[in-house]
Amino acid sequence: MKRTLKYIGITLAALILWTVIVISGTMRGWWHKPITIQNSSEAYIDAVKEKLNEQFVGNFALAMIKNGIVEVEEFHTAGKPVDRNTVFQIASLSKWISAFGVMKLVEEGKLDLDAPVSKYLTRWQLPENEFNNDGVTVRRLLSHTAGLTDGLGYSGFEPGVLIQPIEESLTKAADADEGISGTVQVGIEPGSEFKYSGGGYTLLQLLVEEVSGQSFASFMKESIFKPLNMTHSSYTWEDFSDFKLAEFYNSDGTRATHYSYTSLAATALYTSLSDLEIFFQVFLRGSNNEPIGRNVLKPETLRMMREPHGRTMGMDIWGLGTILYTTTENGDFIIGHDGKSTPPINTAVRLNPQTGNGIIILETGNSILATKLASEWVFWKTRKVDLTLFTMLKNNMVSIIGKGWLAIIILTIVISIVGYRKRKAKK
């Protein structure tokens, strides 16, 4: 009996050790090959072109930034040509820019990060629940730690369909993704854990309107886009009658519908590669000694936006509207945001504030390529697996763990049988 318990104990220890080794190895990229082994932008772009040739992509725009300066731009289209001023819908990447606008109101003293949002709301209030709604603050909404359990996910409204008023959308979003309740409410203790909430950003959108006295789109245009000279950015398509819109595609190559949204802050920003290059550079000191924040936000505010607020699996993953992809050498983070929606739109930004290096990718017609290429850029540059690449590698990680477990169990059984036979032979 003691011998059996010993074998069980050794086996469990081996299984745990193997699991830790594989998870740690996956996070360090032990089993992942970089997109190219050559350390040049040309080599990376060549690898990107290979990926574009392997799968359908409707429209594609990419910028690589080095030391804060745009080094390379690359474009691809299956239809009408796109360029650096072509306007894309950018899905959830909108949240990063929306958070920038919210922080403008914080700097102006019109919003307190830690005050209950109910203090500012008159047009709608969170429904009563078993928790205290006063725990829902601007800080927690920005970092997805407010306890909201909506899980939104917005599918948008087809042309000709009346867009839902924001108050109705918060109560029950008519365009919620399939399988999602669409109700914005507190379902877990505010501040207790990270839980992604599109509805939280729609609530922030309403908050901005209540505090500023403007529509959300007007506030962002006047307070953020105009001062930064982001002339190809708006949360409403009506502003863009003279601009070229990237065509929408389904993954099979057919043309897709252009949807409209109530949830502007969460998913509906229209912008161009050229404007996102400007936004990227706002986080860095300019070549002509322009200040970080470009006098729209203070440097310390931008630094605050990438301080850890949301955690999962023991990792810091979210700041104030900012995804924390992986750490840098000086203890900072590679930051940015991704966007993904249906029909396929996929967008991604990775920014290393320490080096001024980064990448911006906008595309339609493929649900994951921008995110994958951006995360591959991080691994290529740093040999670190970022948050989204780790998620992509999880299936392979589980497979390696499973195979190791099977081998350990079989080996343990074989050793125990051999040991048993030897002991029996001695008798």
Could you read off the pLDDT of 21-51 as tens digits, one per residue?
Answer: 999 999 889 989 999 999 999 999 999 999 9
Select from 14, 17, 2 the least CA-distant residue to 412.
14
pLDDT digits (tens, 9 = 90+) for 295-304: 999 999 999 9
Residue 365 banded pLDDT, cuts 50, 70, 90? very high
- Name the strand (E) or helix (H) holding 314: none
The answer, yes or no, to whether residue 419 has pLDDT greater than 80, is no
Kindly indicate the confidence band of residue 427, based on its pLDDT and cuts at 50, 70 and 90: low
Q: What is the pLDDT averaged over residues 49-74?
A: 96
Q: Is the peptide bond before 153 cis (omega within 30 degrees of 0)?
A: yes
pLDDT of residue 286: 87
* Candidates 3.30.1490.120, 3.40.710.10, 3.40.718.10, 1.10.3720.10; CATH matching 41-384: 3.40.710.10
Residue with tokens 């990792």: 315
Q: What is the pLDDT of residue 92?
A: 97
Answer whether residue 421 shows pLDDT above 90: no
Q: Mention every residue, 6+ apart, whose C-beta is less than 8 A from residue 74.
A: 45, 48, 49, 60, 61, 62, 63
pLDDT digits 0-9 by tens, 111-125: 999 999 999 999 999
**pLDDT given at position 239:** 61
pLDDT of residue 122: 96
What is the biggest distance separating any 2 CA atoms in the chain, rounded to whole angstroms?
93
Per cent of the chain over pLDDT 70 is 98
pLDDT at 1: 63
Classified as helix, coil or strand, 35 is coil
Q: What is the mean pLDDT of the chain?
A: 94
Per-residue burial over 37-60, b if 16 or more Cβ lie within 10 Å, else e, is eeeeeeebbebbeebbeeeebbbb
CB 184 within 8 A of CB 126: yes
pLDDT at 363: 98
pLDDT in tens, 222-277: 999 999 999 999 999 876 667 899 999 999 999 999 999 999 999 999 999 999 99
Q: What is the DSSP letter of 154?
A: B
Are 374 and 51 within 8 A, CB to CB? Answer: no
C-alpha–C-alpha distance, residues 13 and 73, integer Å: 51
Instruction: Residue 186: name the closest of 249, 116, 251 by CA.
Output: 116
Sign of CA dihedral 178, 181, 183, 189: negative
Checking if the pLDDT of 283 tops 80, the result is yes
pLDDT interval class at 314 (50, 70, 90): confident
The pLDDT of residue 299: 97
Confidence category of residue 161, pLDDT binned at 50, 70, 90: very high
- pLDDT tens, residue by residue, 65-104: 999 999 999 999 999 999 999 999 999 999 999 999 999 9
